[in-house]
Chains A and B, each alone.
Chain A
Amino acid sequence: MIPGKYRSVSGRAANNVNCGLHLVIQTSSLPEKSKVEFKLNKETPSFSGRLLQHDLERNYSSRQGDHINLASSSMPSFPILQRSSEEKILYSDRLTLERQKLTVCPIIDGEEHLRLLNFQHNFITRIQNISNLQRLIFLDLYDNQIEEISGLSTLRSLRVLLLGKNRIKKISNLENLKSLDVLDLHGNQITKIENVSHLCDLRVLNLARNLLSHVDNLNGLDSLTELNLRHNQITFVRDVDNLPCLQRLFLSFNNISTFESVCCLADSSSLSDITFDGNPIAQESWYKHTILQNMMQLRQLDMKRVTEEERRMASIVAKKEEEKKRESHKQSLLKEKKRLTINNVARKWDLQQHRIPNIAPNQDRKVSDSPQDPSQLHGSTVSAFPEETGSLDSGLTSALQGLSVTDTHLVEVDGDTLSLYGSGALESLDRNWSVQTAGMVTTVSFTFIEFDEIVQVLPKLKIKFPNSLHLKFKETNLVMLQQFNALAQLRHVDQLTIDPQGNPVVNFTLWKYYVLFRLSHFSMQKINGTEVTQNDMIMAERLFGILAHVASSELPQYRLISILGDARKKQFRYLLETKGKKPGLVNEENSDSKRLVGENTNRATLNYTTRDFYNERLEEIKEKKKFCKMYMEDLVKEATEINMKNEALQKLWPQMFIELVRDAVIEIRNKSSYMKLCLQQITDQK
């Protein structure tokens, strides 16, 4: 704060630096008439011409005269600026102090009617000493070192405020500048838009090259036409629909990646020009048509005119996307429903298999709360449970009670796969399937269905889905090798997949070989995904070939026939008849009959009857057995009686014989009387 001495300098002046506080204002009398155009910052080219036309039409040279005097002031550090009176008259309303190496705003005396003040390209750190210039309309502080907006509270007429390229961190202290038309704050360090809601005449707001991360708080700017937000870090934009006059919005080189983050733009009817280049969103494939579709009012996008063609394309694409979304929504709904149904079926299956504690029908129902040892329950009471479903009580968990009784099975045809879940699904085989659908099905998958039940519908499957080549079984309770015998009745199976889950048979070492052996006439290609090799077939034959041989050749004929049933009877009779022929002929004829039979007959006796049927049959036979027993007993009784009588006769016979002989001899002893007796007998007979 050393009082300084200032002197006016004409011509080129040297800088007198007295501790940095004495300022020499270099007048603008440079040798060449360099025109100092009043150039505003390059980022806002649009308003430069129009707005200031009435103020600054002509370039005025910096030759304001040599007559700017800076005298010492009463305020210790501030230079005082004085102009010569000629200059004052010539350029009465404007003052340019560009590139004057000012570090502070000088006190400007006697220029109360100044309307334009230019401090461009200096080193000013604070806006001061201009409070008296109450007629100021245009204030340019571009390219200084201002850190805070202040000192403007008296400039009520200010219309253009240029504060670009400073170090401003916050928008503040603009409360009285109600006539502001242009506010330029580009190239600063502003992080938030605030304190601008009262600027209802503001038409251009430039906040490019700041540190904004989002845009909001824009209400109140009722005249805003152009908003420049280039080169920030904006991720989302809000409140733009509250700007009724906004026509141009520049968002280039920000951080916008989705349309949702700028969705308020769709609601702004005034917007006609927008830029998004340099944002992540502009790299997306759906960028252009999404923007165009949502902002029908747009005329220019990224500085290029929007053509009708583009608009049309955009709407088409948008429609397609809409369709796709709806489709996928429907699909996901369907999938969800399917998943729920399958869960339902799975739970029911688990209950059936007694994996979840079941309620014993007639006993204390509360017992089911604690997990019981399932071996207590008889494994064969599978049929008992379904009837219980209706009468579940609080003993079971609420999840089980939530079962919807209708969704107990699921049938699904998906291209070439028919999937059946739950035993109720088997009934669907009775439906009228269109020939085309049924013909396309090559894979049939059974889940949560008892294998014994599946066996019963295999003939139907054979007829309705003739092309089914691949069968898949999961959770179907395959426990015995014998059950595979049932698959032999199908026309042709190429692949078989037995999921280990719920099919204990897979744990056996020999199951695959048995399948290959029993179903050798199918020439299966794959079992559980692995290819069937020649070695596998040989091994299968080696392991079980003798079984087949025994099963066919060593059974008595009547047993063969009764096992195989009527269908085979005829073929067997044919084979029976050919047995007597010469071996050579027999070969050919048997190959014919082979084709009739359709499978290896020596395996044909290996059948599978479900447990229920088997027991039924045994029951039926019981009657017969009882009868046979009785019949045999009768026969035996008869035989033993006869035997006894025979033995008795044997014992008695010698005696009887002797008596017979004795009687005969006694009779014949007297010949003549014997002759008379015989004759008498003959005459008596007449």
Chain B
Amino acid sequence: MLSPERLALPDYEYLAQRHVLTYMEDAVCQLLENKEDISQYGIARFFTEYFNSVCQGTHILFREFSFIQATPHNRASFLRAFWRCFRTVGKNGDLLTMREYHCLLQLLCPDFPLELTQKAARIVLMDDAMDCLMSFSDFLFAFQIQFYYSEFLESVAAIYQDLLAGKNPNTVIVPTSSSGQHRQRPALGEASTLEGVEASLFYQCLENLCDRHKYSCPPPALVKEVLSNVQRLTFYGFLVALSKHHGINQALGALPDKGDLMHDPAMDEELERLLAQVPGLVNSATANPEAGCLPSRTPPRVGSPWRPLHHARKVDAESDGSTEETDESET
């Protein structure tokens, strides 16, 4: 914790890098808004809850878009929350349109902008037929790239356009036709009209971008990996490759691997519990006491009651189950 680099940073930079101020400001703002309620049970508790929820990644639920977008941690938390909440939709196998995914996003964030969803859809559909249906995993990974790295992607798009137009921001040698697209290289599976830009050149520009970019970018090593597989690539091809790359996904840390996307044992158990209540739902509205209440009360046979405030569930990329739950329910 007390590493020398950390201590070496000047104050403001340190705060800025960790976005401490953002969270502090937001916490104080929330405090102001809910003065009466919070004063009932104490400010210290409030701050505890607040930062706990920041750690767990639940602080972004039902918040406005400007807050969700504010820090990388928020974005990652949002992605994770979206995954957890709607994984069942994906599991069910439904293919949805872009608008419907947008609707689901809006359930968690009422003012989520449509452009972002559209851009994500474009990655999946390769800028084609925007009304096509998309699978949950395709959309989710594309959305992750688009949302988490949105500023980075904008710069990349600009670079790409430049390269296409023949202007290479990096090269010093001007007059020769050094821009990659005029080279006649056998392109991988592409038509005689050469599309896209040359991969290595592209990578050089991106490397420069990553260095000077203050927004988050994918680890350059992984980008190099992506680009080394092909000779030439289009912009959307690049994005698709990014979204499908496992390493980048893991580096981000918000979502599990594609293979594990539908797995979430703890949540599944919870869901089964809820489903068991459904017949009661149908019979009468009042006869069902358990189904959706605060899970603070649990069926008696489970040993430890589940207290949301204090449960030590960590929001990890890898393991998702809280061990106590999986250990004790022996059904």
Contacts and interface: CB of A to CB of B under 8 A. Distances in A.
Interface string A475-507: 000001110000000001000000000001101
A558 B46 contact: yes
B21 A632 contact: yes
Contacts of B92: 539, 542-543
17 contacts: A492-B285, A550-B81, A552-B295, A554-B53, A555-B53, A559-B53, A562-B34, A584-B300, A587-B300, A590-B293, A594-B289, A600-B291, A614-B111, A621-B33, A625-B29, A631-B28, A636-B15
B46 A481 contact: no
Interface stretch (A143-151, A254-262, A603-611): A603-611
Interface string B42-82: 00001001101100101101101000000000000000010
Interface stretch (A40-48, A352-360, A419-427, A517-525): A517-525
B294 A558 contact: no
A547 interface: yes
B317 interface: no
Contacts of B299: 583
Interface stretch (B98-106, B210-218, B248-256): B98-106
Nearest to B284: A523
A480 B289 contact: no
Contacts of B275: 538, 541-542, 545
Contacts of B296: 575, 578-579, 586
B88 A546 contact: yes
A547 B58 CA distance: 12
Nearest to A584: B300
A504 to B, nearest CB: 8
Contact of B294 (A575, A587, A627, A632): A575
A510 interface: yes
B71 to A, nearest CB: 15
Interface stretch (B118-126, B141-149, B159-167, B302-310): B302-310
Contact of B58 (A507, A554, A595, A614): A554
Interface in A528-559: 534, 537-539, 541-559
A563 interface: yes
Contacts of B294: 552-553, 575, 579, 590, 601-602
7 smallest CB-CB distances across A and B, nearest first, come from: A591-B289, A600-B292, A602-B292, A586-B297, A556-B49, A545-B274, A554-B58
Interface in A558-600: 558-559, 561-563, 569, 575, 578-579, 583-584, 586-587, 590-591, 594-595, 598-600
A618 interface: yes
B293 A601 contact: yes
Interface in A621-648: 621, 624-625, 627-629, 631-632, 635-636, 639-640, 643-644
A546 B267 CA distance: 7
Interface of A: 480-482, 492, 504-505, 507-510, 520-523, 534, 537-539, 541-559, 561-563, 569, 575, 578-579, 583-584, 586-587, 590-591, 594-595, 598-603, 605-606, 609, 614, 618, 621, 624-625, 627-629, 631-632, 635-636, 639-640, 643-644
B128 interface: no
Contacts of A541: 271, 274-275, 278, 281
Given A481-B104, A546-B267, A546-B270, A537 B282 contact: yes
Interface in B7-40: 11-12, 15, 21, 24-26, 28-30, 32-34, 37-38
Contacts of A504: 99
Give the size category of B's interface with A.
35 or more
A611 B38 CA distance: 27
B309 A510 contact: no
A594 B286 contact: yes
Given A558-B37, A561-B37, A508 B292 contact: no
A583 B290 CA distance: 12
A235 B106 CA distance: 73
Contacts of B306: 553
A594 B100 contact: no
Given A480-B103, A523-B285, A594-B293, A556 B88 contact: no
Nearest to A630: B25
B297 A534 contact: no
B169 interface: no
B290 to A, nearest CB: 7
A628 B28 contact: yes
Given A561-B37, A590-B297, A601-B294, A549 B103 contact: no
A42 B207 CA distance: 123
Contacts of B205: none
Contact of A583 (B11, B103, B106, B298): B298
A534 B61 contact: no
- By CB atoms of chain A within 10 A, which of B46, B56, B88 has the most? B88
Contact of A545 (B15, B103, B271): B271
Nearest to A554: B58
Nearest to A635: B24
A640 B300 CA distance: 52
Given A543-B92, A545-B275, A590 B289 contact: yes
Given A545-B88, A547-B86, A601-B293, A583 B305 contact: yes
Contacts of B265: none
Contact of A553 (B81, B290, B308): B308
B51 to A, nearest CB: 10
Contact of B107 (A481, A586, A644): A481
Contacts of A598: 285
B328 interface: no
B103 A481 contact: yes
A606 B294 CA distance: 14
Contacts of A628: 25-26, 28-29, 32
A549 B274 contact: yes
A555 B85 CA distance: 13
A640 B12 contact: yes
Kindly name the residue among B32, B64, B103, B111 whose own CB sees the greatest number of chain A CB atoms within 10 A. B103
A554 B308 contact: yes
B279 interface: yes
